[in-house]
Structure 1
């Protein structure tokens, strides 16, 4: 586990990408080539990639149409070196092919909700400002309100427990079902107040009691863990030999998936003994690790950017081995258990 060095405070009022110098160093942009920012957001990593060298071309992907629209000024200032593509990074290899590219030299993924989305009350991601209970990154599909008002109690409890890591998930789900019998739960303030009536705030903690429940719903609405699993495999298919993948995560569920993916693909995962009869040969190693453990933000970065507190960076370099089959064990980490009867408090 490596902690990055201190850095100067950024300009106030500007979106600050987390661990940007560390991401650029891990990617090793030392030649001309094609970089992919799979999670464009407010464009922080894309700007860093463009500044790495005049021979670096960038394709930036985002599922949020408002992010694509807001990035058009950056496209113009990049003078032909940047293309924005609306879509999910879980299909980035297909999106690259549709853009006429045979592969990529560098890929960066910044997992989770963007600061821009959190700051827009009408998007319904945050309980700090009242707004419609939406949480959809792409604006399509069922919203958080649909899940809250339409899911069975056991399913809600599973979402909050497994995706939100909320220990009081059963009690919160029960309170939601009781409340929606009287009237639909339609706003972030309604839900936050309801959860706060069930989950006690920890003494001295700045974390709101509804934080974990909101996280769980957001992950479920956007299939964020499934998208991460698809994105890791898509990056594996898209990267040229010697190309590098850097992934920044913000909570343990995401980091566990990235850690286990890189461990399996680099040969660090536990293997069956070669002396046992009937065991299969290990798959070819499609990645070699660039970071031996997670790179953490410096204390200076977390002081000026509290969002960075839980960030972890992991990176690996693509080998010449062909992409092995999809890892079913990693896919399982992104799913709810089949048995929704598991006991919780």
Structure 2
């Protein structure tokens, strides 16, 4: 059966262009293309789509309001395609946090030419969304500070490199310092999942390092959003940042992040390097560095996402004595990365998303 898509955009030209590109792709059919969310709701009552392709700036109801309405009432995969997200990474992060599976940017002018040259990205996002398990976002929380008002585009698949290109395998000779460390890797669906986990943590949670697959410039806005709603501090990582209790460091988009140990203290290095498992930052690169630097003092967590990035690195963490946890299939938007880690024998236990916070707190209690 074909993937049934509902296009919602107030521009007749955009609706025509997007419908033409998608209908020309094997296995995809645009069932309706409408000008605003109210018309979309009428069509959805008659025919429920597999994926909604949604603009943000529209009359009668904006796209973010409609997205939140869908996710609160009957979640389904939504891909944002908007010129506004091209101008605002903050808006893109807000859409992903509200439940969008992916954001595909488009310009305000030269729509036909641009979308024709980026058709593969759009089609890949629709196919990926059709296989995702849409979920309601976390309940609104009172922000610790004023809140700010992602799969990011899919990278083309170059020759696959492993984390050996960045860091040699762990030799098992780790003499860890005393403080616990938590390393988290995630991709598609991870913006929502991380928000739920990090916002549930107490202010004295152990130091956390995170790779979320995101493009450059997204991760700063994402970290700022998390910082505004969490009891812990959250920031985009910079080289020589200390990994410490009550702080989560997010790897910058377009850079790898590694953990190193100096005496009894952990620091991060943010570096350039080749794509690893088609990603930069790569979860494997982070996990392998944690295996070398922290050994049994670490907890590795692999969460929702496509592909296999992180599976091999998590196995190295487990072999170095770390505890390893995977998000379970039922609570994942995409059960790809956790599934590959489980298949590889890298996972001690699989738990629902809402139980991950307890695993982090337990890790701190176990080692302190």
Same fold at TM > 0.5: no
> Higher helix share goes to which structure?
1
TM-score, structure 1 normalization: 0.32
TM-score, structure 2 normalization: 0.30
Greater RCO between the two (CA within 8 Å, min separation 6)? 1
> Higher strand share goes to which structure?
2
